[in-house]
Amino acid sequence: MAKSKLVADLLQNWWLRHKTSAGTWLSLWLVSLPIALLLQVWAIQNTYLSPGFAALNPSVTVTQIVHQQGTAPSPLASYLVKEFKQRAQLTVVYEKMRWLKWSEADQEHEVAASFISGGFNALGVKPALGSFVAMEFPAADTQLQVAISYQFWTSHFQQKNVIGHTLMLNGKLALIAAVMPERFVSFRSEQHADLVVPFSFLPLLGLADADQLSPDVFSYLLHNSPLSPQLAQLEVELKNEALLFDDESFTTSAAFGMSVRQFETIKARLGLLSQLFMGLLVFSLLAFTSHIASASDKRLNEMSLRKMLGATSAQLGYQRHLEMLIILSLVLVFSLLLFWPCASLLGLMLPDIPATEFELSAAKLRVLLQLLLVVSLVISLILYAQHRWTQHSLGRGATVSKAEKMQTFVLLAALFVLSSGALTYSSQLLLQQWRYSQLDRGYNTEQLSIVTFDFPKFGGTYFVNKLPSLLISNLMATAEIQQAALTSTPVLHPAASYVTFYTSTGAALTGRNNAQVLTNHISPNYFELMGIELLQGESLNWDNYWQVVISESLWQQHFKDIPLSQAQITQTMNDGERRAIQVVGVAKDIHRINPDDPVTPIVYRVTPTITGQEFIVLKSTASVEPLQQLVQQELSKLDTTLQNPKVISVSDLIRQQQAPQLALLSTSLVLTLVVLVSSLLFCLNAVSLLTRKSARELALRLTLGARRRQLVLKELFTLSVIYLPLVLSTALALPDWFTRLDRIISNSAIYLLFIGFNLIFLLFILVVLYLSVRKIKHQSWQYLQ
Amino acid sequence: MTQRSELIRLEQLCFSYHGTEQLVLDHLDLVIEQQDYVAILGTSGSGKSTLLSVLGLVNPPGQGHYFLLGHDVRQLTDKSVALLKNREIGFIFQNFNLLNHLSVYQNLCVPLSYNSDIPRSMYREKAEQVLQQVGMLQFSDRLPSQLSGGQQQRVAIARAIINNPSLILADEPSGNLDSATAELIFDILQQLNEAGKTICLITHDVGFATKAKRVLRLSDGRFISNG
Ligand SMILES: Nc1ncnc2c1ncn2[C@@H]1O[C@H](COP(=O)(O)OP(=O)(O)O)[C@@H](O)[C@H]1O
Ligand SMILES: [Mg+2]
C-alpha cells in the first residue's frame, strides 16, 4: 500500500519535473532513432539474409556452395555431387526457377515453377496437405509428382482435396502430391512460385539440356557440423585425384535463395549501415548522458531535501531505480514508435531491397529484445555511473577541475567539427541533387510512359503494312491516352540499335569514334509527343523510309554550312548498293539516359513495320494498371499475337535512376541530423553543467570586478585553442573525403562551408556560455554565501 | 576635524529577492562617510547580508536610491559597476571564498587581473605589500587548503584591499574562527580603518561591534536604532 503510494508519488514527481523539459524528450527521441534504425537493419538482415524469408524453418545448416573456376562461379556439377556424397556424406540440393506451360481444357497458362531436388524435411517445410515423400530426391524415371502453392490451390481448385489429381505441365502429366504451407512464397527471394517440382524432372519437362546447371541454378549443402574443415580436406583430395584443377575451388556463403554476389552486396551494405547507426547511437548516448548529468546535478537539492524529510537511502535507491525504469521504458516505446517510419527511411537507403512487410516472428522478436537488452544495459550503466559520480562530487559549486573542463571542450570541439563535416557533406549532396534535378534532359518527361510488348518472331520475315500507324491511331482514339508514338530506342532504357551511315563525302556519320550511330525508328509524331524541338525542317512521314531526321550534334559536325535540302547521307544495302537518304529535319539534342551524360547523336527514321523491337511511348494522365489493360485491348484488337504489354512510367524510371543518389542523400541527412542534434544538446548540457559547477568561482570573479564578457571570452579562448586547430586540420583533409563529389563542387566551396559551419557553432557556444554566465551573475550572491 | 565626504547614501532603499514578495530591506535610510567604521548587528535573517550585497553592488537595489561616491547606482552601466566593484569595494566573507586551486599569490592576482591600471609586472610587488600588511608574506606560495582558517581569512582581507578600495564590506568575518584568531582579524580591520579605509562590518558578536565607530541594529529589514 505504502509502496504503491510512493511509486505514484515518484511517477508524478518525474512527470512534473520532465514534462516541460525539451531536453529530456529530445534526448529520448535521439537515442530511440538509432535504435529503431538498428532494429530495422537487423529485421532486414533477418528477412533477407536467412532462409526465414521463405517460411522455412531448417533443422540443419543450409549453405550455398559455389564451384569457383577461375573467376567464374557455377553450381556444383553432378560428378562433384557424387564425390561429396561418398566422401563426406553431404547432401546437395539444387534449386532453380522456370516458367512452365500449364494446359487446362484448351487454355494455356504460364506458371512459375520452383525446381528443387528435395530436402523438404531438413528445410522444415510442412505441407498444408499431402506429403513430400515422393518429392525427396526422386529418380527421373518415376512418376512426376509436384506440389502446388497454397495460393494456386485456393484460386484454381477452391481448396478441394486435390491430392492425387493431375496437371498437364509442358505436355507431361504430373500428379499433385502436396500443397505447400500457406506462408510459403518461394525458395528464392523476391520471387513467388506456383508449383514446386523435383529438380530431376527438368529433362522430362524439356528444360534440361544445356540449362541443367546454368548459372541460375543454386546449389546448397545441408549439414550439421561446421563445413570448412571438411570442405578443405575434400578440396585437397579432389585435387590430388585431378578431379579439381588448381584454379578451381569451393566457396560457401549463407546466401539462401539469392545469388551470392547480391547476397554479399546486401550484406556489406547492411553491415555498413548497422555500423553507422551504432556510431549514431554512441553519439546520441553521449548527448543523452550529458543531459542526465546536467539534470541530476540540478536535482541534488531535491535529493538532499528528500533525505532531510526522512527518506531512507533505500527509498532514494528505489526512486533511482524507478527513474531508470521510466527512462528505459520510454526509450523502448519511442523506438517501437519510430520502427515503422524507419522502414521507409531504410527503403530509401537500400534501394536494392524492395520494401517488405515486416512480420514479427518469434525469432525476430528475440533479436529485438536482445538489442533492447543491450541498450538497456548501456543506459543503466550510464545512469549508475552518473549517480556514483554525482555522489562523489558533492562539494559542488566550487569550481570544475582543469582536466574536466578540457575533456568537455575536446569532446565539444570534436562533436562540432564532426557536425560541420556532416553538414558540409549533406549540403554538397543536396546541392548536387538540386543541380541534377535542374538539368534539362532535352525532352518532356511529364505524364510519359513506355510500353514494351511481346511480338512473336517468325524468322526474319517482315510485314510491310500499315500496322504501326493503325496501332498509333487506335491508341490515340481512346479517351485516356492523349498521345501515342513508336520508338525503337526509348529514353531511359538500355535498348538501342546502331547503324552505319556515310555522309556524301564518305565520312562515317557519327558523333564518336565509333563508326556507327544510334538509330531510332519512330512514328512521325514522336518529336511532338516527346517535346523534342525540331530546329530545322520537318518530321518524318509514314510513306518514305528514305528520309531521316538527325540530331543537332550530328548536324553541327557534318552539315553545318550547307542548306538542309542538300544534306544527304548514304546507307550500304545488303547487295552492296549505296542508297541515298535525304535529311529532312534537325532535332534538338537529348540526353537519352543520364541528364549529366554528353548528348547522344541520333538518326531518327520512320518505323515501317512492327518488328517486335518497338516500344510504345504514351502521354497519359491515367495510372499504370488501367493503361496496361487499355493497351492490351488495343493490341489484341489489332493482332492477337501482340501480347503482354508492360507499362512503365518515365517518372518511375527516373526515380530508379536516382535511387542510389537518394540513398546516399537520405543516409547522410539522417547522419547529419542525429550528429547535429546530439552536438547541440551536448553543448547546451555540458556548458550549463560546467558553469554551474564553477558557479562559485564565477560569482566570486564577478564580485571582484570581472565583467561577464571577460569571463565568457576567457572560456571561449580556451575552447578555441582546442577547436580551431582541429577545424583547420580537418578542413585540409576534407576534400579527400569528398572525392565522390568533386565532379561538381570546388574545394574552396567545401572549405568555406566547413569553416562557416564551424564559426556558426563557435557563435552558438559563445551565446550558450554568455547566457549561462548571465544566469550565474543573477544568482551570484547565493553562490558566495 | 576635516570635512569628510559622503561615501554611501541610501534613501528609502528597498530590496526583495527575485520572485518573492517579502521586503528584505524595507525603506532604509543611511549615510556612511569616508573613513567611517560601521558595525551592523541583527538576528539571523534580519537582512544584514542582503544589505551588504546591495552595498557591494552584487545585488541591484530595488525601490529607493543608493548613491555610491555620488553616483546613483541605478544609472550606472554594467561596465562602471564592474569598475567600482574592482577598484572601490573590497569584500570579506564568512567562508573566505578563496579559490582552492590557486595559490595565495594567484588568489591575490584575481582582482588585479581585472584592473587595467596595474601592469602585470607590478603584481608581485602589490601582492607582497598587502601580504605584509596582514602578516602572511611567507605563505604566498601555499594553497588555501594548506592554511588555517584565520590565515585564510587574512589572505581574503589581503585580496579585498589589494586594489586599494575606499570601502571594505565584511560579512561576519570571524564567524568561522575561534575567538583568539577573530581578535587578530578585528585588529587588522582596525588598522585598515586607521589607515583611511571605510569599513562596514556585519557581526553577531556585540563585543567586536563595539570596536566600530557606529553600531546599527537591523531587524526585519529596518534599522531600529542609530548609534
Ligand atoms: N537568495 C535568496 N533568495 C530569496 N530569499 C533570500 C535569499 N537570501 C536570503 N533570503 C531571505 O532574505 C532574508 C534576509 O536574509 P539575509 O540577508 O541572509 O539575513 P542575515 O544575513 O541577516 O542572516 C531572509 O528572510 C532570507 O530568507
Ligand atoms: Mg548573513
In terms of domains, do A610 and A722 share one? no
In a domain? residue B134:
yes
Close Cβ partners of A667 (under 8 Å, ≥ 6 residues apart): A273, A276, A349
Residue at a domain's end among A641, A670, A686? A641
In terms of domains, do A547 and A624 share one? yes
Average pLDDT, chain B: 91
CB B220 within 8 A of CB B46: yes
In chain A, the number of structural domains is: 4
Beta strands in A141-213 (DSSP E): 145-148, 166-169, 172-179, 195-198
In chain B, the number of structural domains is: 1
In a domain? residue B7:
no
Please tell me which residue of chain A has the smallest CA distance to B172: A785
Cα separation values, B18 from A779, B23, B61, B73, B221, Å: 9, 11, 12, 18, 16
Could B78 and A707 be called an inter-chain contact, meaning their C-beta atoms sit closer than 8 Å?
yes
Q: How far apart are CA A473 and CA A630, in angstroms?
A: 14
Cα separation values, B125 from A398, A735, B89, B132, B158, Å: 29, 54, 21, 11, 13
Chain A CB contacts of B78 below 8 Å: 707-708
Per-residue pLDDT, B37: 95
Q: How far apart are CA B54 and CA B81, in angstroms?
A: 12
In a domain? residue B69:
no
The residues pairing with A74 across neighbouring beta strands, listed in sequence order, are A67
**Burial level of A505, CB count in 10 A (0-12/13-18/19+)?**
exposed
Distance from CA of B82 to the nearest CA of A (A): 5
Q: What is the pLDDT of residues A561-575, one digit of tens each?
A: 889 888 889 888 878
Q: What is the pLDDT of residues A181-201, one digit of tens each?
A: 988 888 887 778 999 999 989
In a domain? residue A450:
no
Could A399 and B110 be called an inter-chain contact, meaning their C-beta atoms sit closer than 8 Å?
no
In a domain? residue A99:
yes
| pLDDT over 80 at A304, yes or no | no
Q: How far apart are CA B86 and CA B159, in angstroms?
A: 11
In terms of domains, do A346 and A428 share one? no
In a domain? residue A77:
yes
Distance from CA of B141 to the nearest CA of A (A): 20
CB B31 within 8 A of CB B6: yes
In terms of domains, do A633 and A703 share one? no
Which amino acid is residue A298, in one-letter code? K
CB A280 within 8 A of CB A671: yes
DSSP per-residue codes, A67-120: EEETTEEEPPPHHHHHHHHHHH--EEEEEEEEEEEEEETTEEEEEEEEEE-S-H
Count of positions (residues) in chain B: 227
In terms of domains, do A139 and A209 share one? yes
Q: How far apart are CA A604 and CA B124, in angstroms?
A: 94
In terms of domains, do A57 and A39 share one? no
Q: Tell me the three state secondary structure of residue B7.
A: strand
In terms of domains, do A631 and A674 share one? no
Q: What is the average per-residue pLDDT within A231-237? A: 88
In a domain? residue B28:
no
In a domain? residue A259:
no
Could A704 and B111 be called an inter-chain contact, meaning their C-beta atoms sit closer than 8 Å?
yes
In terms of domains, do A145 and A247 share one? yes
In terms of domains, do A118 and A159 share one? yes
Q: What is the pLDDT of residues A423-479, one digit of tens each?
A: 988 888 888 888 888 888 889 888 899 988 766 544 444 444 557 788 888 888 888
In terms of domains, do A56 and A96 share one? yes
In a domain? residue B133:
yes
Per-residue pLDDT, A310: 66
Which amino acid is residue A103, in one-letter code? S
> Under an 8 Å CB criterion, which residues of B touch A?
18, 49, 53, 56, 58-59, 78-79, 82-87, 91, 93, 95, 97, 99-101, 110-111, 114-115, 159, 163
Could B87 and A401 be called an inter-chain contact, meaning their C-beta atoms sit closer than 8 Å?
no
Per-residue pLDDT, A357: 54
Per-residue pLDDT, A397: 43
Q: How far apart are CA B69 and CA B52, in angstroms?
A: 16
Q: Which atom of ligand 1 sits closest to the CA of residue B47?
A: 17
Q: How far apart are CA A615 and CA A521, in angstroms?
A: 10
Per-residue pLDDT, A389: 61
Mutation test residue for ligand 1: of B16, B22, B24, B201, the one with most atoms within 8 Å of CB: B24
In a domain? residue B129:
yes
Q: Per mean pLDDT, which range of A28-37, A136-145, A258-267 is the poorest?
A: A258-267
CB A149 within 8 A of CB A164: no
List the domain range (segments joined by +) for residue A139.
52-254
List the domain range (segments joined by +) for residue B109.
35-59+82-226
In terms of domains, do A731 and A771 share one? yes
Per-residue pLDDT, A210: 45
Residue B45: all three cell numbers together: 535573517
Q: Per mean pLDDT, which range of A262-271, A684-693, A700-709 is the poorest?
A: A262-271
In a domain? residue B15:
no
In a domain? residue B198:
yes
Element (H, E) at A132: none
**Which of A191-209 are b and which e, b meaning 16 or more Cβ less than 10 Å from the residue's Cβ?**
eebbbbbbbbbbebbebee
Residue A507: all three cell numbers together: 565520312
Which amino acid is residue B213, in one-letter code? K
Residue A119: all three cell numbers together: 530436402
Q: Which residue, among B149, B214, B142, B210, has the nearest Cα to B185 in the 3D structure?
A: B149
| pLDDT over 50 at A65, yes or no | yes
In a domain? residue A765:
yes
Q: Which residue, among B188, B195, B177, has the nearest Cα to B211 in the 3D structure?
A: B188
Q: Which residue, among A518, A513, A538, has the nearest Cα to A527 in the 3D structure?
A: A538
Question: ipTM of the assembly?
Answer: 0.93
Q: Per mean pLDDT, which range of A307-316, A410-419, A536-545, A595-604 is the poorest?
A: A307-316
Average pLDDT, chain A: 83
In terms of domains, do A177 and A249 share one? yes
Divide the 227 residues of chain B into consecutive groups of 10 and give the mean pLDDT of each group.
75 92 92 94 92 94 93 92 94 92 93 93 94 93 93 95 95 89 92 94 86 91 75
Model confidence pTM above 0.90: no
Looking up residue B53, the CATH number of its domain turns out to be: 3.40.50.300
Give nearest CA residue, ligand 1 atom 19: B45
